[in-house]
Amino acid sequence: MKRIALLGMPNTGKSTLFNRMTGGAARVGNWPGITVDLLSGHILLGGDMVEIIDLPGIYDIHGFSEDEQVVRHFLHDNIPDLAVVVLNATQIERQLSLLLQLRQYNLNMVVLLNMADEAKKFGITIDAAKMTEALGIPIFLMSAKYGNGYQDAVHAIGKALRYNTPGMAENLRSQLEPETHIEEEMSRVLDHAVQVPARLPDNLTAQLDRLMLHPLLGLPIFFGIMYLLFQGIFFFGQPLQSAVGDFFNWLRELLLAPALSSLPPVIQGLLLDGIYNGVATVSAFIPIIVLFFLFMAIVEDTGYLSRAAFLMDALMSRLGLDGRSFVMLLMGFGCNVPALMGTRVMRSRSLRLLSMLVIPFSLCSARLQVFVFISAALFAPGSAALAVFSLYLFSFASAILTALIFKRHFQNNEPFVLELPPYRFPTLRQMWLRGWHEVYHFVHRASKFIILGVVFVWLLTHLPTSATPAGPDTWAGHVGAWLHPLFEPIGISAELTIALIFGFVAKEIVIGSLAVIYGLGGHALSHALAIQLDWVQAYSFMLFTLIYTPCLSTVATLRSESKSIRFTLLSLVWSLALAWLTSLAFYQGARALGY
């Protein structure tokens, strides 16, 4: 099978092109360094199956960052049949240097000048034919976002795959000669094929940045936008969630319960009260997850998160971090795992470790399910959105406190350089791919962790068979009683304790566990929680869920990225201790005030 490697600087649209070519769902975001792993997909091209690999964005093929080493090692050990080099046409003056470096490798190459539509708006004129003549490489103008020029590019890629590159292996495995002529070559090509206005027009990006990057108004605007985002999720998501929940209740009562009525009661209980209730309750959150990522796709792909990183850099530097760490915290809103992997763009190991220590406090989408469900059960709609938003603020506060405490142990002097891309609005296709990817990921996890989790919870709450289901004599009851002295001071009951234990495997299991423990699902479970808990207990439980030990996937990623068991244990112990102390302070303080 032939292999195509996508190469280019960060923020050139490589992942967007990858998605368009493969129909896959590589994460697409509008800030530098978004691609942090080797993503691959397969397409049929010219009658042959071809593998396409999206390599991390790099600035210099000879650089020392981990991403640059990954690309260099890949080209050394896995010589591609074709390198598709993606350049940002709006920044052609500085992007050309990487192309000239890659040309020294004598790779079989096709060059795509992406974002040609934006370059035209800025008055940048590029003659692709003249550039092809000057460099001896096929070069095409295109827009991966809108598809302009895409078919011509794919045709050229298919044609280039027919040719081999003589001497490529020898060049890749030998030391390159010093790049003494790159500057002269860049000037020659630019003079020959590119016309750039002396001054770019005062476009919408500059006008918006005067407001969004204002030293006093910038941060309030950012947090205001995030608050409106959560209000929108609740406003549109709760009716959809209720509709999905009603559908699952209808399906159970009308079809499943009668169909399973002939089975033994124990098997009925396991299938209906265990697996079905748990999975159905969790699945009702799919609309919320889709909306969350659609909204976040708009915020990310517009380029606004890069602005947030810029605004937060002054504060983050006082914490031993930088603006990139804040970007990774925001990325963790979706999932902590890719956010942890995103720290590879940092050259300093100390900065990486401190960033990895704070990222697990990001309120990920799995935790969001728990908070949406409990907030909707205990709070009025307007107050529920405020409650969830306050948990995001606690998320930031936990990360800031952690950085303040540990920054002396992870000192960093790496300079922070961040590119601010122009504002863009994501296409419907991009948003659809993002939503579909997250739903697929959610369902994939449900098929593994959630089903296994609810089965184990059902067994714990129904064994031994002589005990009352979910009663104090069950195995779950004994575990809850044993941990009761630890969780009683923070207002967490035995039932909630069992859910927290299984939440260590995956936070998606928490709501499914509660459905199994109470033998209820959907609205009935919400009503039961509202009767048993007051808002202080519920909020204390949510605080603990927010801060305590992350899921197993995150722990495994911490271990693999840090390459240190000691660091991983530090992260686990600290998060548990901070969660308990925070919940204790809130619960006891609220009770002391008479709530």
Q: What CATH number is associated with residue 99?
A: 3.40.50.300
Helix, strand counts (H, E) of the chain: 29, 8
Give the helix/strand (H/E) hosting 83: strand 82-88
Claim to verify: residue 99 and residue 242 sit in the same structural domain: no
**DSSP conformation letters of 103-160:** HTTT--EEEEEE-HHHHHHTT-EE-HHHHHHHHTS-EEE--TTT-TTHHHHHHHHHHH
Claim to verify: residue 531 and residue 565 sit in the same structural domain: yes
Residue 479 lies in a domain: yes
Claim to verify: residue 181 and residue 224 sit in the same structural domain: no
Domain edge (last residue) among 180, 195, 210 = 195
CA dist., res. 362 & res. 346, Å (int): 19
Give 74's contacts (C-beta < 8 A, 6+ positions apart).
5, 38, 53, 55
Residue 489 lies in a domain: yes
- Of residues 269, 285, 288, 287, the one with CA closest to residue 520: 269
Q: What predicted TM-score, i.e. pTM, was given to this entire model?
A: 0.66
Claim to verify: residue 235 and residue 186 sit in the same structural domain: no
Domain edge (last residue) among 195, 210, 228 = 195
Does a cis peptide bond (omega within 30 degrees of 0) precede residue 178?
no
What residues make up the domain containing 119? 2-195
Claim to verify: residue 300 and residue 223 sit in the same structural domain: yes
The pLDDT, as a whole number, for residue 179 is: 53
pLDDT beneath 50, residues of the chain: 31, 33-34, 166-177, 199-200
Domain edge (last residue) among 144, 179, 195 = 195
φ, ψ for residue 240 (rounded to 5)?
Answer: -65, -40
Number of domains in the chain: 2
Token pair 């990522």: residue: 293
Could you give the count of Cα atoms lying within 13 Å of 86 in the half-sphere of its Cβ? 29
Token pair 């739903």: residue: 439
Claim to verify: residue 501 and residue 399 sit in the same structural domain: yes
The pLDDT, as a whole number, for residue 450 is: 66
Residue 296 lies in a domain: yes
CA-CA-CA-CA torsion sign (316, 319, 321, 325): negative
The pLDDT, as a whole number, for residue 541 is: 95
The pLDDT, as a whole number, for residue 403 is: 94
The pLDDT, as a whole number, for residue 418 is: 64
List, in sequence order, the alpha helices (H) in 407-450. 428-445
